[in-house]
């Protein structure tokens, strides 16, 4: 492995953290290039469980350098809390964590606006994490955002901040009936963060160019999932950044001329947090059967703590994600969750207006109305949690996985059968 992008193929929560951790062991540079602390990775090592939201999980390996690239939005308060967590676990990040000067800073008004806007939508709410991610990206696009470079220059920071606070207070007070923010209070609070951020800031773009040219092993750690991409996801029920493979490189300031492998991560079934269309979502009765058969089913978001909606694997969506990302191979996670089901369904096409279709409707109203057409597989009714080679998998499990691979026309490289790092099956 020289250069690799790890991408979620669904609505996030695919188990990317564990896979990134596996690949991090053989990487020297780990890059996070989009999103913020709205993402969440859980890593299980022995009896220890680590949760990461902003810092790349590759920081657990002493030989790695981890990067928060230009496309990331950074909440300094949250970052410092996560850094403290590393220190508490005796994980050294000195000279191993770099922040791009071009990354944008999340301010208190971003969080307030996120909360107010989401609540104001009522039943039409997107289901955001309400951590200020969207409003921060909006400011970036509107050219009024504050970058790390601006934040580190005290006079520039104060000038932009005061203008922004004046403008944001109009919305907070007049539209949302929220008490106005005080610019002096924000300046005072954030001045304490400056020395810590400054120590971590580097010319990340030059660093990455140099290391890519040297053909160093670089791992790009995708956040969220393809179906949450702001351009190609189930819009408007999406995140605020580009989550697809080309977006990962662009957001890191890395050109597309390098030979990069793209690993797509997909659960053996499907989940979604928040609102939005979900063609294969289980009925209440089906979910009860699904849950009762799986004592290891823990479907709550690492970041939000919210219960995830559950459904059967949707190959129409998965093939769409395969094409959008140009993935070279697939990793299937959480196969063990299906171990004790009598039968397992996979959506292979949709029925829409009396026609069978295999494309994903762009209009959410249409996607909401499609009826999934299923292929049913017999369950394998055996635990896969201790299986360590492909040949030892139950026959029905292999048939299930092989069908997925054939449908999306990409090989499966790895199967995960539990939360621990050694619960994996390499196909080749």
- Which residues belong to the active site? 13, 41
Q: Where are the beta strands (DSSP E) in 322-387?
A: 329-333, 343-352, 355-357, 371-378
345 in Cβ contact with 377 (< 8 Å): yes
Which token pair is 317?
């969506």
CA distance 373 to 210: 49
DSSP element (H, E) containing 220? strand 218-221
84 CB-near residues (< 8 Å, 6+ apart): none
Q: Outline where 76-221 has alpha helix (H).
A: 76-88, 108-120, 133-141, 148-152, 154-170, 183-191, 194-200, 204-213
CA distance 411 to 414: 9
DSSP reduced 3-state for 135? helix
Nearest residue to 411 (alpha-carbon basis) of 401, 421, 419: 401
Counts for the chain of helices (H) and strands (E), in that order: 14, 20
Nearest residue to 221 (alpha-carbon basis) of 425, 426, 11, 22: 22
Which token pair is 3?
């250069």
Write phi, then psi, for 105 (nearest 5 degrees): -100, 135
CA distance 210 to 151: 26
Is the peptide bond preceding residue 321 cis, with omega within 30 degrees of 0? no
Nearest residue to 191 (alpha-carbon basis) of 231, 225, 157: 157
DSSP 254-320: --TTS--EEEEEEESSEEE-SSS--TTBPPHHHHHHHHHT-TT---B-TTT-PBPEEE-EEHHHHHH
Phi-psi region of 13 (alpha: psi -120 to 50; beta: other; left: phi over 0): left
Q: Note the maximum CA span of the chain.
A: 66
């Amino acid at each position: 492995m020289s250069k690799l992008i790890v991408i979620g193929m669904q609505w996030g929560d695919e188990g990317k953290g564990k896979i990134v951790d596996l690949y991090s062991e053989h990487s020297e540079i780990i890059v996070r290039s989009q999103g913020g602390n709205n993402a969440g990775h859980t890593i299980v090592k022995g009896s220890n469980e680590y949760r990461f939201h902003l810092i790349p999980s590759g920081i657990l390996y002493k030989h790695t350098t981890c990067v928060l690239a230009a496309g990331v939005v950074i909440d300094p308060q949250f970052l410092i809390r996560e850094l403290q967590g590393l220190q508490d676990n005796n994980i050294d990040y000195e000279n191993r964590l770099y922040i791009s000067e071009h990354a944008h800073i999340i301010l208190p008004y971003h969080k307030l606006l996120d909360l107010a806007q989401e609540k104001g939508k009522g039943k039409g709410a997107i289901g955001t994490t309400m951590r200020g991610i969207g409003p921060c990206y909006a400011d970036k696009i509107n050219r009024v955002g504050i970058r790390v470079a601006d934040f580190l220059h005290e006079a520039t920071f104060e000038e932009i901040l005061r203008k922004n606070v004046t403008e944001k207070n109009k919305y907070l007070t007049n539209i949302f009936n929220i008490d106005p923010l005080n610019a002096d209070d924000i300046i005072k609070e954030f001045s304490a963060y400056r020395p810590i951020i400054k120590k971590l800031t580097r010319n990340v773009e030059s660093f990455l160019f140099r290391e890519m040219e040297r053909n160093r092993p670089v791992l790009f750690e995708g956040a969220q999932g393809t179906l949450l991409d702001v351009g190609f996801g189930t819009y408007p029920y999406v995140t605020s950044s580009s989550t697809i493979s080309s977006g990962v490189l662009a957001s890191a300031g890395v050109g597309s001329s390098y030979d990069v492998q793209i690993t797509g991560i997909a659960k053996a079934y499907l989940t979604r947090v928040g609102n939005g269309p979900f063609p294969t979502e289980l009925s209440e009765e089906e979910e009860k059967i699904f849950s009762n058969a799986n004592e290891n089913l823990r479907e709550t978001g690492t970041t939000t703590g919210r219960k995830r909606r559950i459904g059967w694997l949707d190959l129409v969506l998965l093939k769409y994600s395969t094409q959008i990302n140009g993935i070279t191979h697939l990793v299937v996670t959480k196969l063990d969750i299906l171990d004790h089901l009598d039968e397992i369904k996979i959506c292979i096409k949709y029925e829409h207006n009396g026609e069978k279709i295999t494309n994903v409707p762009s209009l959410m109203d249409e996607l909401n109305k499609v009826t999934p057409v299923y292929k049913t597989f017999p369950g394998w009714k055996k635990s896969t949690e201790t299986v360590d080679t492909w040949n030892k998998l139950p026959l029905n499990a292999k048939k299930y996985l092989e069908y997925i691979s054939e449908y999306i026309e990409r090989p499966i490289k790895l199967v995960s059968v539990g939360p621990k790092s050694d619960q994996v099956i390499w196909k080749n």
